[in-house]
Structure 1
Amino acid sequence: MPFVNIKTPEAALTAAQKEEIIHRTTDMLAEYFSEAARPHTMVLIEEVKDGGYGRADEVFVLPPEYRAQQG
């Protein structure tokens, strides 16, 4: 069973964007593993709260301009 775990900053994506990522990722994996893999493919999008991750010793907080516009 293909399993993809995507970690993204909290509020960076809308629900529609997450749904699109899930569909497109599933389509891509079905291309590689065959359609037989589609019903067994798991795509997990985990949102990480601000301050819960970092890069190069810097704790990351998502700037407001990068937050998804919930609509």
Structure 2
Amino acid sequence: MPYVNIKTPEAGLSAHQKAEIGHRVTNLLVEYFSEAARPHTMVLIEEVKDGGYYRADETFVIPDGYRAT
């Protein structure tokens, strides 16, 4: 069973965008594993609260312009 775990800043993606990512990642894996993998593929998109990401020793907070509306 293919399993993909994507972590993204909270509120960075809309529900529609997350659904599209799930669909596109599933299609990508089906290209490699065959159509038989589709019903067994899991794509988990986890949202991490601001302050839960660290980059270059600094706490990462998603800029307002990047938040989904």
For normalisation by structure 1, the TM-score amounts to 0.95
Q: Which runs of at least 4 in structure 1 moved beyond 2 Å after TM superposition?
A: none
Question: Equivalent residue for 2:54?
Answer: 54
Q: How many correspondences in the alignment?
A: 69
TM-score (norm 2): 0.98
| 1:30 is aligned to 2:46 | no
The residue identity in structure 2 corresponding to 1:4 is: V
Gaps of 5+ in 1: none
1:21 aligns with 2:37: no
Q: What percentage of aligned pairs have identical amino acids? A: 77
Mapped pair 1:65 → 2:57: no
